[in-house]
Structure 1
């Protein structure tokens, strides 16, 4: 599996490698030193998280599963029940897919979407199993999950495009960019639909219109093997076309031929400088090769 340089995303040194200090724990938690020393000893036998790069696996086989689409499209959206119904499954099945297919501590599925100008967008569903000290100074599991969208250039270093987690970063794409990336797979209709839906969670849809809803309805029907979009699919498509809920307030503008966002948590954020940075120009050029 070609990770297109995504493995460089991870710093191989972690907080797990840092030694614990019993005196600091005793002071921070207000416990006796003996209790803190016990916590330090217990930490030495807890399973350390494996290096993230060893967990990355090929997620392409998941594209044939409606429950994958319900789980993937539901990230960052409040109406996961609506999306699950459009995929022909129950909300409970979508939740199961979220934990058993996408966010597992032992396997992080990775899917790539090619870009018309070269390079790819790497999508990685991740979950790291960590441990935290509870109020009584005992160790408790503390899972951290996220979905990473990474822009891998054909040459040079890659850059973060969007992140959906407790600390989200985005949006990553405008509607014309998403449409261009998806239709580059033509005449393979299924590949067009898959690319469209894979990148839907990072859409900042201030510039989307009825066309976007029509595309999403067609794509949803195709990946879930429906002969045509039904009412439920249409409603879900309208919802997807409105953009990810946490990104909807961001707006796009073109400055000196570069598309940038006013969202302060967006990797494509324009900070008010007269000329966008070379990095923002590089990102915009990769994502908007033609027709944007």
Structure 2
């Protein structure tokens, strides 16, 4: 469910711009925006609704702000799309942002996922910040349509990375430690240790030879440092020689550049088939889930359109 808090900003599209209005992006014509806000999400806070209203009121836009409440947001997302906006801003958890983006598809409105979750992998990749207010302003003032590619596994879309296998079990522990929940981190860590090394993955890339690995990381072209063009997912197989090496890779799988490690091999793939003896733990754009013992992953070259600043040129990002 959603509560529509505000239907219009003080300045409506088509009317003369107020002298004090901030200048919108010159790269696309923005007239109507919808913003979905979940104040209960970990990275948002109770003042986010009023703060978002205040920021949007600085621009000459027709705006609608919808507060997400309850647990089923499908109706609210459908209502947001039905309003036919130029862009839908999402200030909520990582899972909600992924859900909105996956429903938009390439022919839908532009999506602007702001950092309102815990890991915020997609917002940080698009806006380079964990500050949702700064990301909102960057989208409004510097944004242009950006085609975002990604992947899909078991009906779940991801736009940054999917980690399959035992190292995925360490992501909740690491996040709990980052937020100061030491007891919870210890619980997650013990669970990860129990599951580690109990079931290696068997996988094939684009129908090729079957291989085994402790874990498989699938990285979108938007995140990958190894791919210059969106021609597939970067598939990184982790194959540690012993427990100590596996622990090191698991601890850094999401948070450092581990591609130069001799226990990691990478290549591009459009289709990945994965099997294991038991259900496969996974982390999809920061969200943990449990897959069946067999899973297929496919590359989605045009997943949705984001409103975001143009990425820096390759020579500028080195």
Q: TM-score, normalised by structure 2?
A: 0.23
User: Which has the larger strand fraction?
Assistant: 2
Which structure would you say has the larger RCO, counting Cα contacts within 8 Å and 6 or more residues apart?
2
User: Which has the larger helix fraction?
Assistant: 1
